[in-house]
């Protein structure tokens, strides 16, 4: 029985590894069909070995063996590339192979461990670990590979000149006027740099935090202290619905707002505030697509629900005896709130703030149609830009010779590396602050 269990376990692990490789590459298409057939044979041998050894022979093993054969037949019949079925694109067969292999190999590993460990109740518990460990391992491996690629491709190109200089591709100067409009003559002035993208990311984080922090804390306090049960449920549902809004919806609304400013507010200060503006080296005024201030307002719509929820949870976590003791000592409700409840919930608020900053730093769907390359400077009323947008622009910029894509393309992973360093650094700082505040106010 042990020999059959070991063989089934080896075959199952091999199928599991092949499924993981098929997720990453499509060069292993010669192996899934025979591996699935071998897996079915190993499961059948395991089943009959259990019966011969007078152990509990689980009938579900037969089902998985049949499914392995059926999966092998389906893969054999499928073409290399799949299309149709309302799929806008092509899907390689290796994706289907990976799904079949992972779905069937994990239960096979569980059954093999169960019989290898003696088919006891303790063995049953241990044999269920792969159901949890394999998905966790896949996720951690995927994150590890992404981080490894970012570090390996991004860190070697990082230098002080890249960080200290903004990107510039052209310097515009007015030459003549035609029909009441100036004709601009471009003088190429190429300069590689990501300074404004870094500063833009930090500015988006700061503005979004300043906007969302007081509102989020206020909503959390109101729900906990002042709202009735029905009102609290309405507010919780509203914040959940607000958090569930797609970034695509927000960017469409933002895009329509900028178009409204162009059509109906042309030439006014409101157009500059909404669209953002700056000046080229020749002194000419240039309007952008969306200012940092307006973009931060829309990003804050995704952050306010986070801060509101963590604030409410922090207030609820305070022991009721402490609150009642404060009231018994004659303290007012507002004094208890300011002196006890809010300091107690500060660690939760900091956690929400860190999540909000990460949202602001990495968000792209809210700004990818209205951001620019950062040549108009970085201030609340200049055109929005960020490291996340630079990464997108390097990959999916104008295919007809966009300067950013052509010259900044090699620095795409470097921008991702800097963005990763910023978010990790702020997270570490926030965790240190959270621990110090928790020790001070909670005695933890």
pLDDT tens digit sequence for 363-387:
888 888 888 888 888 999 999 999 9
Q: In the structure encoding, which two tokens stand for residue 281, read together?
A: 């080296």
b (16+ CB within 10 A) / e for 404-434? bbeebeebbbbbbbbbbebbeebeeebeeeb
Q: What's the distance, CA 29 to chain centroid? A: 31
Mean pLDDT of the 212-217 span: 92
Name the burial class of residue 85, with classes exposed (0-12), middle (13-18) and buried (19+) by CB atoms within 10 angstroms of its CB. Answer: exposed
Q: Which two tokens stand for residue 40?
A: 């079915």
Please tell me the predicted confidence (pLDDT) of residue 88.
Answer: 60
Domain-wise residue ranges, the chain: 2-155, 173-441
Q: What are the E-state strand segments in 122-225?
A: 168-178, 181-191
Least confident segment among 38-42, 261-265, 296-300: 261-265
Q: Is the model's pTM score more than 0.85?
A: no
pLDDT of residue 428: 85
Average pLDDT over residues 10-17: 91
Provide CATH code, domain 173-441.
1.10.3720.10
In sequence order, what are the residues at sequence separation of 6 or more whose Cβ sits closer than 8 angstroms to the Cβ of residue 316?
224
433 pLDDT above the threshold of 90? no
Flag whether pLDDT at 402 surpasses 70.
no
What pLDDT, on the 0 to 100 scale, is given for residue 336?
A: 82
Mean model confidence pLDDT for the chain: 84
**Distance from C-alpha of 183 to C-alpha of 193, rounded to nearest angstrom:** 28
Nearest alpha carbon to residue 68 among 57, 60, 79: 60
Higher pLDDT, 327 or 177: 327
């Amino acid at each position: 029985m042990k020999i059959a269990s070991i063989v089934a376990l080896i075959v199952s692990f091999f199928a599991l590894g092949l499924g993981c490789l098929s997720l990453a590459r499509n060069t292993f298409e010669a192996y899934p069909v025979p591996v699935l057939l071998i897996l079915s044979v190993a499961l059948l041998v395991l089943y009959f070995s259990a019966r011969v050894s007078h152990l509990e022979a689980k009938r579900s093993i037969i089902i998985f063996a049949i499914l392995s054969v059926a999966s092998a037949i389906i893969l054999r019949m499928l073409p290399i590339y799949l299309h149709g079925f309302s799929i806008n694109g092509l899907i390689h067969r290796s994706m289907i192979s990976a799904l079949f292999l992972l779905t069937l190999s994990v239960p096979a590993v569980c059954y093999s461990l169960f019989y290898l460990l003696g088919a006891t109740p303790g063995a049953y518990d241990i044999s269920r670990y792969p159901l949890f460990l394999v998905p966790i391992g896949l996720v951690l491996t995927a994150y590890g590979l992404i981080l490894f690629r970012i570090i390996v491709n991004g860190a070697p190109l990082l230098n002080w000149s890249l960080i200290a200089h903004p990107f510039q591709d052209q310097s515009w100067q007015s030459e003549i006027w035609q029909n009441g409009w100036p004709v601009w003559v471009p003088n190429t002035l190429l300069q590689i740099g990501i300074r404004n993208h870094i500063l833009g990311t930090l500015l988006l984080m700061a503005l979004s935090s300043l906007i969302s922090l007081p509102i989020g804390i206020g909503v959390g306090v109101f729900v906990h202290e002042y709202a009735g049960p029905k009102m609290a449920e309405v507010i919780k549902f509203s914040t959940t619905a607000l958090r569930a809004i797609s970034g695509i919806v927000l960017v469409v609304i933002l895009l329509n707002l900028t178009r409204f400013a162009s059509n109906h507010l042309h030439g006014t200060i409101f157009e500059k505030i909404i669209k953002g503006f700056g000046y080229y080296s020749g002194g000419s005024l240039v309007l952008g697509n969306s200012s940092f201030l307006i973009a931060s307002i829309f990003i804050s719509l995704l952050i306010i629900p986070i801060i509101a929820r963590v604030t409410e949870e922090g207030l609820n976590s305070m022991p009721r005896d402490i609150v009642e003791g404060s009231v018994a000592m004659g303290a007012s409700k507002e004094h208890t709130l300011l002196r006890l409840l809010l300091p107690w919930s500060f660690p939760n608020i900091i956690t929400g703030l860190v999540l909000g900053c990460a949202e602001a730093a990495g968000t792209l769907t809210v700004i990818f149609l209205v951001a620019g390359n950062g040549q108009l400077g970085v201030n609340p009323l200049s055109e929005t830009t960020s490291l996340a947008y630079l990464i997108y622009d390097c990959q999916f910029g104008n295919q007809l010779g966009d300067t950013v894509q052509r010259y900044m393309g090699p620095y795409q992973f470097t921008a991702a590396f800097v963005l990763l360093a910023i978010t990790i650094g702020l997270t570490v700082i926030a965790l240190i602050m959270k621990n110090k505040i928790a020790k001070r106010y909670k005695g933890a």
